Structure formats: C-alpha cells, structure tokens
Amino acid sequence: MKFQPLADRIRPTTLADVVGQPHILGQTGLLRRIVESGNIPNMIFYGPSGVGKTTVASIIAAQTERKLYRLNATTASIADIKKIFDELGTLMAPNGALIYLDEIQYFNKKQQQSLLEFIEDGRITLIASTTENPYFYVFHAILSRSTVFEFKQIEAADIQPAVRRAFSLADASLHVPEEVCAYIAAACGGDVRKAINAVELLVQTAGGDTVTMEDAQQAAQRSSVRYDRDGDQHYDILSGLQKSIRGSDPDAAVHYLARLLASGDLISACRRLMVIAAEDIGLAYPQALPIVKACVDMANQLGLPEARIPLADAAILLATSPKSNSGIAAIDAAMADIHAGKSGDVPAHLKDSHYAGAKKLGRGLTYQYPHSYPNHWVRQQYLPDAIKDAQYYTYGDNKLEQKAKAYWDSIKK
C-alpha cells in the first residue's frame, strides 16, 4: 500500500474544517462566499507555506465537481497546461478543469503571458499560489484577470486543535500532554504542515506510551523561525525594525532584531541599524552614528551569537534617542530639484581659482573668506543663480538642532 503522509490524511475536506484564515473563510469572508456561489474566478493565493492554500484549492475543485490538476511552476511548463487544455470536454474533464499552479513566481514573463490564452477560454480556471508578493512577481495581465487573496500566518491557538487531532489519528493510544501540543503549535511558525510533520515524526519514533517535551523540542527545533532573506518576510521584518526604532519602542526594536539574528542574517541587521542612525536619529543626536558604527564593527568581528550584544545596545540606543529626519528631508528635497532640472552654474566667486589663468576667467575674484570675519561668517551667495533662494534644510524641533538654529539666527541677523 502506498504510504500517505499524515498531513495528507488529516487534510480538511470542507471550508469549515480549514484552520485559520477567518478574514477570507469566515461566515462573511469573501472567498467563502465565492466558493459557496459556485462561480469560481481565476484567483491568486498569496501567503507563507503551510497555511491552507493547497487545501482550499482542493476543496474548491471538489465542491464545483471540476477535475483538479496540480502543477508546480518550478518543474511545469506551458506544454503541461496545453496537454490539460486538450483534455477539456472529454471524459477526463467533463466539467472543465481547475489548475492549481503552485509557486507561480517561478514562471517567467513569457510563460505567464502564455497562460492568458488558456484562462481566457473560460473552461480552465486558474488558482495560482505564491509565497512571494504577487504585485512584484506576477505579470500584470494575470493580476488584472485574477482576484488576489492573502493567506496569513496561523496563530498557535488555532493550530493546537489540529495537532491534537493529528496525534489521535496517528496513534490514539499515545498519551500526549497538553503542553506538548501547545509547544508544537507554537514552534511551527504558523505552518500547519510543519506541525503535523512533527507529530508524525514523534509518533514514528515514540519510545514509550507518552510523548515527552524533550522529544517535542527535538522534533520541532527552530521551525518557529519563518524567514527568507529574499522574500517578503525579509523586508517586512526590516521594516518592522526601522519603524519600531523610529517610533521609539525599544521592546519592539529588540524583537525584530532578534528575528533577524535568529535566522543568521547579521549583514541585514548591521546595514539597517546604520541607516536608521542617519535617517531617523540624525542631527538630533549625531553621536549615534559613530556609536552605532562601532557596535556594528564589533558585531562583525565577534560574529554570532555574541554579535547580538552590541547590536542590541545599538537598537536600544537608537530607539531611546531623540529623533530627527531633517537630514534625509534636506537631501531628498535637493535631489528632487536636481532630477527636475533645477540647477545652474556654480557662482563664479565659488569656482576653483587655484590655477594659472583663473583670474582671467573671473574665477574666485569676489569670494569672501568667512574666517576673516567676526564669528567666521559673512553673507554671500552660495547657490546657483537659478535657485539662489532655495531652502532644503529645516531645523528639527529637537534640543540640539534648535540650539544650532538659535546660534545662527543670532549671527545672521
């Protein structure tokens, strides 16, 4: 008899049995209402692995009495879809076909374009799934003909009943303490399939009539870390880190830093902390820049796990520091003018005059040396004539910048 994984044996057959996703599968959820109507559009299921995308596609196929064809874009080709298309209307697919194309982001643009002629025929319904943001990786013409549904990471409390049910189905005679079920549900990182696979491993290797916490920890080790350096999770966690520091929340900052470091991503953590020091703290506390750079240098010399210590210091320092974005606001405003063509020739009195013939060209003739004047300042024009009145920098409202403003206001009166 062919072996069937426990995750397949326990797979739900109705939407009511699907774990999680209440925002789309609840009583008023749009996807649930679409499935119950029987009029299934082309759809894209977007979300992390193990959250029910394949399961829901199978339920849709069963409820609409359509033949389900499962393809994976890493190995499938347009020829495979053409073969399915040729079977339409035969005994193989009398009611049309539903193609579940997993990991559609691995189809190149030409392959995705070729999909259009098949899904526009009406006899094929496409449900594509992807763990990557479809708005970055799926061809626009496919997106415009599809409805996108986001499947979210499942909470541990929702996974725990599924873990208990999996143990009962696999071996009802085993004694499984509730804390073991809770641990597996929490350690799987929102991936139901991982949790069920851990259950299957524990049942197969059970050394007695009780599943111990030690065995559960071995079976589910580190699976709670859901992270992909090239995927959405990477950028979402970096965004969470920066916005937490910008919002002066040291606890959240340390949390997101820990998620980066737990995945071994030291480089991204170091780069983002240095960016934050300049972008979000900036001139409110300029000393933060060399301090964070020193922490980053120390972290790179130490390596993980010790690197977590100076980086935690840096994250907490930044989160609890005064904030100013006046520096990035100034350079972005100046760059916007440059890109818009608002520039001009460098004023003649500022041009380089350290060469023979410079005076004949009028270079530097009227330049006034600020150090020769009281307070090392003299009024003269520095910007090109075309934008001589432009103002890019606005003093931040923090203590340090306001002190500098007060100083220069008194000098420039």
CA distance 85 to 96: 9
Residue 230 has pLDDT above 90, yes or no: no
CA distance 237 to 247: 15
pLDDT of residue 227: 53
Residue 91 has pLDDT above 60, yes or no: no
Query: Where in 73-145 does DSSP place strands (E)?
Result: 97-102, 124-130
pLDDT of residue 109: 85
Lowest-pLDDT range of 2-11, 192-201, 235-244:
2-11
CATH for 156-219 is 1.10.8
Q: What would the mean pLDDT of 315-334 be, rounded to a whole number? A: 96
Asked if 98 contacts 40 with a C-beta cutoff of 8 angstroms, the reply is yes
Neighbour-count burial for 20-29, b at 16+ CB within 10 Å, e otherwise? bbeebbeeeb
Q: What would the mean pLDDT of 235-243 be, rounded to a whole number? A: 93
Write down the domain spans for the chain. 21-150, 156-219, 232-320, 345-411
Q: What is the pLDDT of residues 26-39, one digit of tens each?
A: 989 999 999 998 88
Asked if 378 contacts 388 with a C-beta cutoff of 8 angstroms, the reply is no
Residue 18 has pLDDT above 50, yes or no: yes
Neighbour-count burial for 246-257, b at 16+ CB within 10 Å, e otherwise? beeebebbbebb
Supply φ then ψ for residue 71, to 5 degrees. -130, 150
Q: What is the pLDDT of residues 110-157, one digit of tens each?
A: 888 888 888 887 778 899 999 888 988 899 989 999 999 999 888 889
Give me the count of residues in the chain.
413
Q: Categorize the per-residue pLDDT at 93 as very low, low, confident or very high, splitting at 50, 70 and 90.
A: low
Q: Which residues make Cβ contacts (< 8 Å) with residue 306, sequence separation at least 6? A: none
Q: How far is CA 381 from the centre of its chain?
A: 46
169 or 335, higher pLDDT: 335
Asked if 152 contacts 47 with a C-beta cutoff of 8 angstroms, the reply is yes
pLDDT of residue 225: 52
Backbone conformation region of residue 129, classed left if phi is above 0, alpha if psi is from -120 to 50, else beta? beta
Q: Is the dihedral of CA 42, 46, 49, 51 positive or negative?
A: negative
Q: What is the pLDDT of residues 351-384, one digit of tens each?
A: 999 988 888 888 999 999 999 999 999 999 999 9
CA distance 166 to 6: 7
Token look-up 């350079």 returns 331
Q: What would the mean pLDDT of 331-343 be, rounded to a whole number? A: 94
Q: Which two tokens stand for residue 5?
A: 């994984």
- Architecture field, domain 232-320: Up-down Bundle (1.20)
Q: Categorize the per-residue pLDDT at 92 as very low, low, confident or very high, splitting at 50, 70 and 90.
A: low
Task: Name the nearest CA neighbour of 9 among 212, 162, 131.
Answer: 162
Q: Which two tokens stand for residue 110?
A: 């030409």
Q: Categorize the per-residue pLDDT at 1 as very low, low, confident or very high, splitting at 50, 70 and 90.
A: very low
3 or 343, higher pLDDT: 343
144 or 88, higher pLDDT: 144
CATH for 21-150 is 3.40.50.300
CA distance 160 to 156: 6
CA distance 106 to 112: 9
- Architecture field, domain 345-411: Orthogonal Bundle (1.10)
CA distance 404 to 336: 26
pLDDT of residue 327: 97
Q: Categorize the per-residue pLDDT at 189 as very low, low, confident or very high, splitting at 50, 70 and 90.
A: confident
The pTM score is 0.69
Long-range contacts of range 239-247, CB-CB < 8 Å, 24 or more positions apart?
Answer: 241/269, 241/272, 241/276, 241/315, 242/272, 242/275, 242/276, 242/279, 242/280, 244/319, 245/276, 245/280, 245/315, 245/318, 245/319, 246/276, 246/280, 246/323
Asked if 227 contacts 257 with a C-beta cutoff of 8 angstroms, the reply is no
pLDDT of residue 410: 95
